[in-house]
Amino acid sequence: MNGFVFVDKPEGDSSFLVCAKVRRIFSAKKSGHTGTLDPMATGAMVVALSGATRFIELLPETGKAYRAAFRFGLETDTLDITGNVLSFCDVPVTEKQLSSVLARFRGETMQLPPMYSALKKNGVRLYELARRGEEIQREARRINISQLSLLSYDEEKREGELFVACSAGTYVRSLIADIGEALGTKGVMTALRRTSANGVAVENCRTLEELEALKKADELSRAVVSIPDALCFKRLTVSAKQARRFANGGELFLERINKTVSDETLYSIFSPENEFLGVGVTAFSSGLLKPKKIIGR
């Protein structure tokens, strides 16, 4: 079965494990996802099944949004509540101070990825190095935080919750630690829920238990979004001869397609029988429609 499944990831499972569970439920040959969530995190996760894994990079990249709980006065090696405690800090933080400092982190900024992350260095995950007690130099990366607001804050407990809308690759754990540092204290993330990913709201996601129930009722197809529906590209139907050529990786002459198209634009390509063949990109400079991704390849 090819397509995408929108999953509400449970707490405690790694993203890899969730993919494996979804693959088992659908009896798919392979699966993949569009962005790692830490085991402690929950929320929106887009899982690709079988041939859809080839199209992950073409999904709409609209950034991600989170509700993140935090606590000031505490530092851990993982920057979240699951890590080993490194230090404490008793500096008080008022709601006014916190609200004021948030402005510094909105927009484009540079962020240093944490050691406990899935990023690789010479083929090794950083968290694997961190677990061995190693810390290496990392390069700060450009991120964009389009929205950052305070949802709640208890001054006495120094605990609260943030709403964060940000670009892919943003580490909310690091953001909270950096906010704490800007306030002269320490900060850790205590909970994280991704409320949207790739334009998919968590309200439109299904839990693993709901997917199991659909499987039992023989209605799993209800949970699968087709590749072209998920990609949201304009549809382009070609002739039977052109469909065979495209499906085999061949380029098509635009003048023979006899359809109005735009230059340097991605299209979902269909056969006359309404079979999705893949994604092609137009190039007026060469007069060709070139295969970008093909479903059978």
* pLDDT on residue 19: 96
- 8 A C-beta contact, residue 65 and residue 165: yes
What average pLDDT does the segment 200-209 reach?
A: 97
Is the pLDDT at 28 greater than 70? The verdict is yes
Residue 197 contacts residue 63 (beta carbons within 8 Å) = no
Rounded CA gap, 187 and 189, in Å? 7
- Tell me the DSSP string of 165-221: EE-TT--HHHHHHHHHHHTTS-EEEEEEEEEEETTEEGGG-B-HHHHHHHHHTT-GG
pTM of the model: 0.89
> 245-256: per-residue pLDDT in tens?
999 999 999 999
β-strand pairing of 187-197 with 64-72: antiparallel
pLDDT value at position 120? Answer: 78
pLDDT, tens digit (0-9, with 9 covering 90-100), for 63-90: 899 999 999 999 999 999 999 999 999 9
pLDDT digits (tens, 9 = 90+) for 119-146: 777 777 877 877 878 777 788 899 999 9
> Average pLDDT, whole number, for the chain?
94
Active site residue 38: yes
279 with 267: CB under 8 angstroms?
Answer: yes
Spot the catalytic one: 8, 13, 38, 80: 38
Position 133, amino acid: G
